[in-house]
Amino acid sequence: MKALRVPVAVFLCALGVVAFLAAQQGPKSDSSTTVARPRRPGNTGSAPAATEPDQPKIPSRFGKGKEGSPPDGPTFRSDATTVTVDTAVIDNKGHFIPNIPKAYFRILEDGVPQQVSGFSLGEAPMTIAMVIEFSNAFQQFYSWGWFQTLQASYGFLEMLRPDDYAAVIAYDLRTEILTDFTTDRAQLNGAMQRLRIPAFSESNLYDALVETSQRMQDTEGRKAIVLISSGVDTFSKLTFDKTRRALQDAGVPIYAMGLLQAQREMADARGMMGSLARMDFLQADNQLRTFANETGGMSYFPRFEGEMPSIFQSIVQSLRNNYVLTYSPSNQARDGKVRRIKVELINPETHQPMKVTDDKGKVVKYRIVAKPGYTAPREVE
């Protein structure tokens, strides 16, 4: 029986590629169905998890919220005079680097150094929307794609704490909220049980991401979208460029996990993947990187099961532990233009990039994760 495993896996990969190529031919007869647009919590005046009256409301700009929960990403407060930037410093193993003094942080806005007026480091609950691709193109019943999708989804849920909010959202032709934001682990696991046999071969990634990010715009605190997907979009109403702009405006970091990496390589090595499918998958990976980088998140492309735990830990650490930097922009023009932000770590004595060393004195590579910019307010006449 062991000798049959590789051919079976290859055969399933081939089925996924064939189904994907078939999906590129255009919409099916029911593609005119309108994608359901979830309501924003702020518009209804109630918490998203309305079925659980004993739960506190998710922090919102329109409510008092939880004390000590800083807003996510660069946002203007009061009279458009303050920008708050959540910043994570991650080493080459994905671990958060703590205990960096305020004096080492430097913020540049459009290349101009800014004065950091506020600085804090805190651990806060998370509000996570898990957006899961579950289309018939890749997640055939008992296929590798189906197994890897469920493995990643269940694995991340195990990293949540009792005070973390999470929602489970699946997409194929439509975007479906399997369960809205809740702290109830049983309810989240129940939503995952609904991921069994996909109904459509379409995979409308752009629509699902924009709808979810817009729902989360009014949510404050440590919020993010954890995207578990192949990265392929087959028939979204939105274009790639419009999706990028909408995600940047929403200000919700995206942590993307690109699936089927090993299976794609296996199929390609055996000559079972054509040049068109190969280019489509490379473009899909690039899309995931772009969405993550431009929203202040991160992207991952695991090939083996053993990589999953470290990826989950990296996502949780970068979300739960952040340096919160506040500054008043030197450019106070209300012109509605995009302002580019760059966060650097500089030694205040030498004015050179800061070096981080481990317990043995060895220099450790690190990277800074922060949203790359914001849109200035426009003067209202």
Which tokens belong to 130?
A: 């898990």
Question: What whole-number distance in Å separates Cα of residue 210 and Cα of residue 179?
Answer: 18
What is the per-residue pLDDT for 34?
34
What is the per-residue pLDDT for 222?
79
Q: What is the CATH number of domain 75-123+321-375?
A: 2.60.40
What is the per-residue pLDDT for 289?
95
User: Hey, what long-range contacts does 158-161 have (CB within 8 A, 24 or more apart)?
Assistant: 158/312, 159/312, 159/313, 159/315, 159/316, 160/126, 160/128, 160/185, 160/188, 161/125
Question: What whole-number distance in Å separates Cα of residue 246 and Cα of residue 188?
Answer: 28
Question: What whole-number distance in Å separates Cα of residue 304 and Cα of residue 325?
Answer: 36
Q: Could you give the C-alpha distances from 83 to 126, 251, 274, 340, in angstroms and in order?
A: 21, 13, 48, 12
Coil vs helix vs strand at 117? strand
Question: Rg (Cα) of the chain, in Å, rounded?
Answer: 22
Domain positions in the chain:
75-123+321-375, 125-318
What is the per-residue pLDDT for 139?
56
Residue ranges of the chain with per-residue pLDDT less than 70: 1-80, 94, 138-142, 199, 220-221, 380-381
CATH homologous superfamily, domain 125-318: von Willebrand factor, type A domain (3.40.50.410)
Which tokens belong to 29?
A: 């007869």
What is the per-residue pLDDT for 39?
39
